[in-house]
Structure formats: structure tokens, C-alpha cells
Amino acid sequence: MPPRLAKRRGTANWNRTHSLLTRKNGILHALRKRVVQSQTAWISMKTLTINDLRTSINGTYRCTALWCFSFLLTLGAFGQVRVWDNGGSSGDWGTAANWDLNNVPDSNAETAQFGAVGPGAINQDIGGGGTGVTVGQIHFASGGIARTISGNTITINGLAGTGILNDSSSAQSISTPVVVAANQSWNAANGNITVSGTIQLGGRSLTIDGSQSTTLSGTILGSGGTLTKTGSGTLTLSGNNSYSGLTTVAGGTLIASSSTALGATSGDTTVSSGATLALQGNISIGNAEDLTTLNGAGVGGGGALRNLSGDNRWRGNITLGSGATISSDAGILQLGIDPSTLRTLNIGANTLIFDGAGSTTNNMRIIGTGNVIKRGTGTLTYISVANNTYTGSTTVEDGALALDNLNNANGAIVGPLMIGDGIGAAGSAEVQLGFFNAANQQIANTSAVAIHQDGRLRLNGQLETFGTLAMTGGSIDMNQFNAPGASVGSLTLGGDVTGNAASTTATISGNLILGTGPRTFTIANGSPAVDMSVSAVI
């Protein structure tokens, strides 16, 4: 009588001697069906623990006798593992001889496993007309060759929460349409994954994990479906996507390289601390409904929202969940639709840092009580139809801040303004007025302005009024930008002037208006022969 496997409440008790088991190529078989795959011999062991969770049985195997004559096998949710051996030499998924034990994987409890056996091209030839094949998981095993799976639809159920796993160091590609049948993760653990076919997400949650790169270039569909990026790797979305659920960047980098990469307009986007949402490809992404919540400085401090290359536009509103960095590596990052269409950048009580060697144009109204810091050698431009209302400080440590708000109503800078941090070259930190437009009166009349030795305020022929002025070196230049003498601006002081001790001379040129009431200049003695030089017409 052949041995039988009795299953009761998820536990199978099999009381037979080990002579009824066979072991071939590291695979344990019983009744001509694989029970478990393990690289560890099962004999002479009181306890056998299976470390590879992608096997047909999940759990610990305990021997009830000294020599493992009987087993207690706990059946998990991992189902059967079907290993590609290309015995049929056809490269066709549906050919039974191409799989070990001649079993074609076609159920949600089975894993299709591909290793070192070729060919690299696999044709999924089951179920034409959209029906396709169903598997629990596709597993590219360690040591496996690069593979491309093409053909008919593959429905993936996600055994133990994992739908696609690349344990090999080879790049793996799936060009078939894919149906996500349950919530699951796709894990580029050791090698890259590319899925170029349509992904039917439905209302499911898909998580992209792993330390390597995943590219989804096909269309992602699904009403209510959500997409989450975890792990340290990079996910690139380049398809014409329409899924409508939340997009969460919880780890690594998500690169959006199409204008619909993040799905329908009703779907919001959240970037967690330490993660990055990056834009490239000259795209215009997001809408008023896309309320992006930013947190942290991004991967390696490169920005929670990052412009990698090209001229890209984020059209939707932005809210800071905590201190965050927006960076432009190259090209131009535009925030908002255009200067005349109101969008909001809500910094709350947090600090927002603009960084990078590229340019950033902010068409949004900035609100909140927090602070703004400009870093990097690039240019940040404020150009909006509405006044900013954030009341915290604005600090330009490096590069340029161009103030071009359209209504000329003292609304670009409301709180204190600091130009320079005292450690750069002269003029390496600059605030400019009217860089693109004839923009007068950008700084609130009550704002306190401090200029350090590496800082420069350039009025560019415009008119400006602010409160107190403190200079530790640095300069104020009122001439028109790139056209000295063509038009000279005027600065009206709303408070007293302080010259702090510095290693360079503070200079003021142009037209200086003292405003109402007496003005006091308090000048400390620094290292230069002249601590402050005022060549302006007073």
C-alpha cells in the first residue's frame, strides 16, 4: 500500500519510514510530488528547518524518532514549486516536459521558478485571448540567467505576499500583460526587473521592493489600486498610467518619466523621510487634486522631490509633513502650473530647503509659519500671482533667489531675510529683484535684512523698501542687471543700519532713501581699512 498524506486543519501527519522518500538534486519527493526543496540533507537530523520560504512547505520539520522515521509536516501557503528544466527544448511555458516532474505551473498555489537552465526567452503560450495562466509567484532563483517572458496574460496571486522575486543577479524581463490578483510585492532583491506589459491592478495594493532597479513601462490600470515603493532600489514609471489610488514612496527612489506616471488625477502622493520622488523627461505631472506630502531630505540628501534632468513641472499642491528638501540637479524644475494659476506650497511650521545646481521656478504661494533655505549654486525664482504668507525666515546660503512676484505688493518675502552664510566667495549668495519682470517692492516693508560677506542684494533697477539692515561685509547693488547705469534702483530704509565687524568692506551703491525719521548707522571696527562704503545718492 503506498504511503498516504493525511491533512487536517493545515497539518499533515505522515508516519512512514524515510525509505519511502526519495532525494534527487537536493529535492525531496514523496508520492511523485515534490514536498520541499532544500540544500540541506534531511537524514541524521532531529530537526530540519527550511530556510527558503519559496518552497512548497512553510515551517519547521520535526522528527518524532531519532532517525526521522516519521515527520510532522505543517503545510504553508507556498504551494508547489515548479522548476523550469527545459526538458521539452521548446521554450514554451505550456509544454509539460519543460518543467520538472512534467507539471506546468497554472494555479494560484504554484510558484514558477527559473534558474540557470535556458533558454533565455520563454513564451507563455497558455490561454490566448486574454485568459492566460495563473501562478502564485514567479521566482528567478539565485544563479539564474537573464530571462524574457513574453506571450499571453499571467495572473499573479502573490504567494505569502510576494508576486515576483528576482534572487538572481541577472536582469529579468516580463512583457506579457499581468493581472495582480491580490495584494503583493515585487522584489528586485539581487537583480533588476522590467515589466513592460499592461498591469491590471484593480483595487489591489502593489509594493515594489528590493535594493535593485524595477522598471514598469506598461500601463498600470485600476480603480482604487495603490502603489508603494519600499527598499533602497529605484522604481521607474514611464507608462500612461491611470490607477487612482495613493502612491507612496516609502524608501529608495521613484522616478516619474511620463506625465501620467503617478496615475489618475484623483490619486495623491506621499514621500516618506529618506525617500525620493524624482522627475525626468520634460514632463508635466500632477494636478490640483494631487496633494503631495513631502518629508525629509531624500535619498543621500538629494531631495524628497528631485529634478534629475530636463525641464519638468509639478502641477499639484504640495504640503510638508516635516522638514523637507526640494532639489534640481539640472534643467528647470517648475512648481505649479504657471504664475497666474494659484497653487499652494504649505510648509506648516517646518523648514523647506531648495537645493541643487539646477534652477527651480516656484509659481506657488508659500504659506505657513516655517522657514525657507536656499542652498546649491542654482537659481530659485519666486514668481506667482499671489503673495507668499509664510512668516518664518528666508535664508540664501548659496546661489540666487530671484524675486519676481507679479503684484509688486511686498509679498515675496514677509519675514526676515538673510543673504549669505559668511563662508562662500563674495557674491556667491544673491537676492535679485525683477530678474524676469519689472518686479518692484518684493520684500515686506517691516522685514529685517541681514547681508553677510558672501551675500549681495541686487535691485536690478527696481524699487524696494524694507526694515532694518545689518551688513557683515557684503554688498547692495541697485544697477540694472547686466546693464550698469542703464537704470538705477532705489532702496528706502524703514529702520537703522548696522555694520558688523567683518574681513571685507560692506558696500552700498545706487539711490538710498532714508525714509521718515532719523536713521542711525552703527559701524563696528573690522579688519579692512574701510568697514562700510556708501557710494549711493542719499
pTM exceeds 0.95: no
**351 pLDDT above the threshold of 50:** yes
The letter for the amino acid at 111 is: T
Q: What is the CA radius of gyration of the chain?
A: 32
Nearest-5° angle of CA 402, CA 426, CA 359? Answer: 30
% of the chain exceeding 70 in pLDDT: 82
Mean pLDDT, rounded, for 51-68: 35
By the 8 A CB rule, do 53 and 78 touch?
yes
By the 8 A CB rule, do 436 and 414 touch?
no
pLDDT of 68 reads: 35
Delimit the domains of the chain by residue range: 6-74, 156-534
What are residue 188's phi and psi, to 5 degrees?
-90, 75
Would you give the DSSP letter of residue 102?
A: G
pLDDT of 423 reads: 94
pLDDT of 297 reads: 98
Mean pLDDT, rounded, for 426-444: 86
Residues 6+ apart with CB under 8 A from 129: none
Q: In the structure, what pLDDT confidence band is assigned to residue 17 with cuts at 50, 70 and 90? A: very low
By the 8 A CB rule, do 455 and 420 touch?
yes
What is the C-alpha separation between 268 and 202, in angstroms, rounded? 17
Mean pLDDT, rounded, for 197-202: 97
**CA distances for 303 relative to 238, 293, 354, 366, 392, angstroms:** 21, 13, 9, 18, 21
Other CB atoms within a 10 A radius of the CB of residue 527 amount to 10
Residues 6+ apart with CB under 8 A from 343: 288, 315, 316, 317, 335, 336, 337, 363, 364, 365
Would you give the DSSP letter of residue 299?
A: G
Distance from the Cα of residue 442 to its chain's centroid: 33
What is the C-alpha separation between 156 and 84, in angstroms, rounded? 17
The grid cell for 475 is 554688498
Q: What is the pLDDT of residues 203-237, one digit of tens each?
A: 999 999 999 999 999 999 999 999 999 999 999 99
Task: Tell me the three state secondary structure of residue 18.
Answer: helix
**CA distances for 249 relative to 270, 331, 352, angstroms:** 6, 23, 19
Q: What is the pLDDT of residues 470-518, one digit of tens each?
A: 999 999 999 876 555 557 889 999 999 999 999 999 999 999 999 988 9
Q: What is the pLDDT of residues 361-402, one digit of tens each?
A: 999 999 999 999 999 999 999 998 889 999 999 999 999 999
Buried b (16+ CB within 10 A) or exposed e, 419-453: bbbbebeebbbbbbbbbebebbbbbbeebbbbbbb
